[in-house]
Structure 1
Amino acid sequence: MNSFVATTSSAASGGIMILLYAALFFGLWFIVFRPQKKEQKRLATMISNLETGDSVLTTSGFYGVVIDITDDTVIVEFGNNKNCRIPMQKSAITQVEKPEVQ
Structure 2
Amino acid sequence: MTPEMLQIVFMLVILGGMFFFMYRSQKKQQKKETEMRNSIEIGDEVTTIGGIVGRVVALKEDTFVLETGSDRVKIRFRRTAIGSVNKLDMDAGSENK
Tell me if 1:75 matches 2:30: no
Q: What TM-score do the two structures reach when normalised by structure 1?
A: 0.78
Find out whether 1:98 has 2:91 as its counterpart: no
Seq. identity, %? 30
2:36 partner SS: helix
Deviations along 1:47-74, one digit per CA (max 9) or x if unpaired, are 1111111101100011111111111111
Which segments of 5 or more consecutive residues in structure 2 lack a partner in the other structure?
A: none
Gaps of 5+ in 1: 1-10
Aligned CA-pair RMSD = 1.6
Once residues 57 and 20 of structure 2 are traced to their aligned partners in structure 1, the CA distance between those partners, rounded to angstroms, is 39
Question: Which residue of structure 2 aligns with residue 6 of structure 1?
Answer: none
How many residue pairs get aligned? The number is: 91
TM-score (norm 2): 0.82
1:51 aligns with 2:41: yes
* Structure of larger gyration radius: 1
